[in-house]
Amino acid sequence: MSFSWFKYAAPINFYPFAGKVIPLFWFLAITLTGFGLYWGFFQTPDVLSDQKQYYRIIFVHVAASWMSMWLYAMMVFWGLIGLVFNTRLSFMMAKATSTTGALMAFIALVSGAVWGKVSWGTWWDWDPRLTMSLILLFLYIGYIALHSAIDNSRRADKASAVLSLVGLAIVPVIYYSVNCPNPNECGALHQESSFKGVESNILLGMLVTALGFWMYSFATILMRVRNIILEREINTKWVSEL
């Protein structure tokens, strides 16, 4: 018998499948994040260029920042799939992704503010990257608020998906604001995002922590999708039999 992923597009099939893989993602999230943070805090140099111990916040900040952008792209992807193919599970995935994405955007902003205070002498500056990251958080909040404001779930799914599509352009803008060829011309305080010259222990800690955050995102999104499925399928026979 051939295996087909398409059968998991139905909530009745996806619900038990998600329940089976969630423990695996939690194990990977805890293991990778724990190892990455341990390595970053205790196995990396005491000083990075002209910065002191506060540079270690990059192990949380960079991972959260990457995830906030990646999850927004995934939220738009699932919303677009739902709009094109009118699949219920796709809209549920988009809704579940929004909360984890908002959390990652919030962590990135807070950790960036702490970095800015000790590095630039201020909690906040209207640096292009900071400003775009704040707008990204507002987009997440706007998506969640719009979805909650509409009683009909199908209408809420479609309206929120359209809103997320409008905001998609901000993701490449955030990337460009960090990788601006001339930071002075861009008015950017934020350092350019680059792996060039990064000490191998620091790079290992960053990448492993980011992978752990990625696994955490999978685990929480799948847990939330299962809850959404139960809410929306409450009147079906298969849910009543659980």
State the CATH number of the domain containing residue 155.
1.20.120
- Domain membership of residue 54 (yes or no) is yes
Helix intervals (H) in the chain: 11-42, 58-85, 88-119, 128-149, 153-167, 170-178, 183-186, 200-232, 237-240
Residues 52/221, Cβ–Cβ less than 8 Å: no
Supply the range of the domain harboring residue 120: 15-240
> Structurally, how many domains does the chain consist of?
1
CA distance linking residue 190 with residue 14, whole number of Å: 42
Q: Report the candidate in 62, 30, 42, 39 with the shortest Cα–Cα distance to residue 205.
A: 39
- In single-letter form, the type of residue at position 73 comes to A
pLDDT in tens, the chain (242 residues): 445 667 888 999 999 999 999 999 999 999 999 999 999 888 876 654 555 666 788 899 999 999 999 999 999 999 999 999 999 999 999 999 999 999 999 999 999 888 877 777 777 777 777 788 898 999 999 999 999 999 999 999 999 999 999 888 777 776 666 555 555 555 445 555 555 556 788 888 899 999 999 999 999 999 999 999 999 999 999 998 88
**Angle between helix 58-85 and helix 88-119 axes, rounded to 10 deg:** 160
- Domain membership of residue 94 (yes or no) is yes
- In single-letter form, the type of residue at position 193 comes to S
pTM for the full predicted model: 0.87
Secondary structure (3-state) at 46: coil
- Domain membership of residue 9 (yes or no) is no
